[in-house]
Amino acid sequence: LKVFTRPRNLNILIRDGNLLSERITPPLIILHMLSYALFFYLYIQSKISMPGIFKGEIFYFAAILGAYVSFFTFRFLLVRLLGWIFASGEYAQTYLTNSVIFDEVWGIVLIPICLIIYYAPSPASGLMLQGGAVLFLILQLYKLIRNFMVGLANTNFSWLYLFLYLCTVEIL
């Protein structure tokens, strides 16, 4: 949580060890993937009706979860590949660590939001859903700014190219 709120602590965390290889990371990543998929499932379910190709809610949720896991894996591998191509593996590792921390924290925050959305009466549920979506967008903007600041430490590339790179990876 300190790394999430204070950028200076990211360097301390990276210096102390690799967060991506810690024992707590896999359960938190699974939690974040499940909570992201549940939030998007609830959001999509509130906006449109279920497609007819899925016979039950669990299949619809599984499709969203599978799409997000594929996206997360693709983004992770893309950043690793680009770090290797541009010989900036250390900066790619810092970027990934920062992104994983944001995803893990947001996954924990989404649990009570999803519970309230699912169990609350309809007007409160819709309000919480909109609030969660706005909070998600604010967090993504903050994450983009923090990742841009991580990239500023690399002086080998122009700021414009760094900004375009980060925007492309985040949009993908």
Please report, as a single letter, which amino acid is at residue 113.
I
Q: pLDDT of 80-98, one tens digit each?
A: 998 888 777 888 888 888 8
User: Long-range pairs for 66-71 at CB < 8 Å and ≥24 separation?
Assistant: 68/33, 68/36, 68/37, 68/40, 69/33
Rg (CA), the chain: 18
- Is the pTM above the cut of 0.85? no
Both structure tokens of 111:
């649990």
Q: Does pLDDT of 54 surpass 60?
A: no
Task: State the Cα torsion 39-100-79-35 to the nearest 10°.
Answer: -20
Residues 6+ apart with CB under 8 A from 67: none
Q: Residue holding tokens 């994983």? A: 100
Q: pLDDT of 90-130, one tens digit each?
A: 888 888 888 888 888 899 999 999 999 888 888 888 899 99
Q: Does pLDDT of 35 surpass 90?
A: yes
